[in-house]
Structure 1
């Protein structure tokens, strides 16, 4: 898909933004890491995307997290901050506008907002409350995808 670069990989990125302390969610994080480990085969982190399975995995990971928002989709994954890498990504994201560039600092300023529209979007209770989506509509939406 993209021209090769030794420090950049394209792949699937899934991010959840949580407004809780590390102490409060440690057990939940350990649980979803366990779910993730069992969902993928050993030594398969270089697998090709299977969008249906990736979507189902994202839903399983989200099920036990108290997230405010989250998203998933195709992304450039790299160690940002290196001039050569940043320049390459800026050039390539113009050629591939659907590709995300993960922003690890986003959780510091999102609050009850979302980072943007992505291939998969997760709206948690704080965001849904802000949007005035009632709990019953939320449960209907969840059942639609989890059943």
Structure 2
């Protein structure tokens, strides 16, 4: 474990003689939710993907999942042309780009383009950019923060967040069973679920994170960025005003996992959660391995 978060390495169950394959690890996610129709934002999302690809090591996204069959194929020039065509021509589609499809390395891009009516209350389209913690350790947390801001500038987001998460294949059932104990111990490690969250988060806030991108629906009732800033007193917390009535709340210099067994309950996260409680996205269905009480504890880990 480094100072700010644990190393999480959970391996897949394998047959005798097969090599070990990593199933779950700690990582970073930069995620945005957009209350716009897919066709209105497809080009914005593709520009953001290009920003991500230019920022990380060349060729890191080597594979793509075919959006209808789920089969993996090379993300070469032909694969990119196919995926970009699907993104630009379909009324809704999904996208999953990865460095390695059989084991999480930390590098992934996921997009959930949902088909919904413009007046739908809670449905959004979501995009998530994943990074390994080792890259942050090499380049520094400020580099991650700047990348998150660059990605945000390309997207008409309603809300967004960046910070630590468990990294695993979200579309495969059963993985959350293996992370239950870690999730209930380390409150700053998010459990991502872009498919479900994008279809139901609406204008609400998906938990509290190291970086919190807030839109007018949340900021205006609080009196804008200045009103929010006046409610936050933890040293190291900053509120940066962004364009179009948005703001970025940063909770310290590094993302933190906390550790409830050691009494580290992340006071800055708890303070922001109390302020944002009326807008928090709560009431999810139970994940595999989580009881109803586990879900309540996890969702309210910064509130109770």
TM-score by length of 1: 0.81
- Which residue is 2:214 aligned to? 123
For structure 1, the residue ranges without an aligned partner over 5 or more in a row are none
- Which residue is 2:232 aligned to? none
Q: Does 1:48 align with 2:138?
A: no
- Report how many aligned residue pairs link the two structures: 141
Matches within 5 A, 1:88-103: 88-103=178-193
Give the drift of 1:130.
4.9
Give the drift of 1:120.
0.6
Give the drift of 1:129.
3.6
Q: Please, what is the CA RMSD of the aligned residues?
A: 2.6
For structure 2, the residue ranges without an aligned partner over 5 or more in a row are 1-6, 12-21, 61-106, 108-131, 229-239, 249-304
Within 1, Cα distance between the matches of 2:35 and 2:53?
A: 24
Give the drift of 1:101.
0.7
Structure with the larger RCO, 1 or 2 (CA within 8 Å, 6+ apart): 1
- Which residue is 1:35 aligned to? 51
Within the candidate set 3, 7, 10, 2:26 is matched to: 10
Give the drift of 1:131.
4.0
Q: Does 1:64 align with 2:154?
A: yes
SS in 1 for 2:58: coil
Within 2, Cα distance between the matches of 1:63 and 1:29?
A: 11
Give the drift of 1:110.
1.8
- Which residue is 1:141 aligned to? 241
